Amino acid sequence: MAFRSAVITFPGSNCDRDMAVALEHVSGTPALRVWHGDSALPEGLDFIAVPGGFSYGDYLRCGAIASRSPVMRAVIEQAERGVPVLGVCNGFQVLTESGLLPGALMRNAQLNFTCRDVPLRVENSQSLFTSGFEAGQEISLPVAHHDGNYFADEETLDRLEGEGRVAFRYLEAINGSQRGIAGVLNQAGNVLGMMPHPERAIEDVLGGSDGYTLFESAVKSLAEA
């Protein structure tokens, strides 16, 4: 069965094409492209990706305006029905701003834009996005962000840890994130937000293929479902 995925594009998104290429590369089916002003998503989606970039120029707060756009209402509805949603970088910011994921992403503690490969540990290998990894596996993915400093109150952080909702953790302090959190899952496990870019690491000639494993996990888990 064809893997039916959609990539949302906001004004200022710039990783949408990479995301679509990655989804097609891994699943063999071209991803549908959806414009932010659309109020409906294509029918019968298996996977929704909210890509990185600088939606609305990061005005007000990163992801704030995009999270209130018409298409996000449809994304939230689909997420609540259990459709897998992946938000990367600015997409992660959009998902926290929309309330699909807890916490907020603040300016990097050292104030620099950080653009490099970073080592990560897979903390939860049971999710539909991470089942192709071993628990505790160390992987490498590129980051490129100015506002990736994950913040949530202590109670929320304890809950996330207790429920196994920290998907990835930085192995180096790169942006000041609370407890080194690089990616979090929602309670149902069908929404993942992460600052590192899996779509930029889908084959070794691009510097690594750990991102491939993430998309492959999602494609496989849907095929098995």
Partner 1 sequence: MKVQIHVSLKPGVLDPQGRAIHHALDGLGFSGINDVRAGRLIELDVDENVTDEALDEMCRKLLANMVIENYRIERA
In whole angstroms, give the CA distance from residue 102 to residue 153. Answer: 10
Q: Contact with partner 1 (CB under 8 A): which of 64, 144, 171, 206?
A: 64
Does 21 participate in binding partner 1 (rule CB under 8 A)? no
Which single residue is written with the structure tokens 């701003």? Answer: 97
In whole angstroms, give the CA distance from residue 73 to residue 198. Answer: 25
In whole angstroms, give the CA distance from residue 23 to residue 52. Answer: 14
Choosing from 15, 36, 89, 123, the catalytic residue is: 89
3-state SS, residue 7: strand
Catalytic: 197? yes
Q: Are 213 and 26 in contact (CB under 8 A)?
A: no
Choosing from 36, 62, 123, 199, the catalytic residue is: 199
Catalytic: 89? yes
**Do the bridges between strand 47-50 and strand 85-88 make them parallel or antiparallel, or are there none, so unpaired?**
parallel
Catalytic: 216? no
Minimum CB separation from partner 1 for residue 90, in Å? 15
Nearer to partner 1, 96 or 217 (CB): 96
Site string for partner 1, 91-120 (x = CB under 8 A): -----xx----xxx-xxxxxx---------
Count the residues of the shown chain that bind partner 1, applying the rule CB under 8 A. Answer: 19
Nearer to partner 1, 16 or 97 (CB): 97
Query: Greatest CA separation found in the chain?
Result: 46
Does 60 participate in binding partner 1 (rule CB under 8 A)? yes
List the interface residues with partner 1, window 141-160 (CB under 8 A).
149, 151-152
Question: Quick one: tokens of 37?
Answer: 């002003």
Minimum CB separation from partner 1 for residue 78, in Å? 21
With a CB cutoff of 8 Å and minimum separation 6, the contacts of 191 are: 79, 84, 85, 86, 87, 95, 100, 101, 185
In whole angstroms, give the CA distance from residue 223 to residue 47. Answer: 12
Catalytic residues: 89, 197, 199
Q: Which residues bind partner 1 (CB under 8 A)?
A: 60-61, 64, 68, 96-97, 102-104, 106-111, 149, 151-152, 176
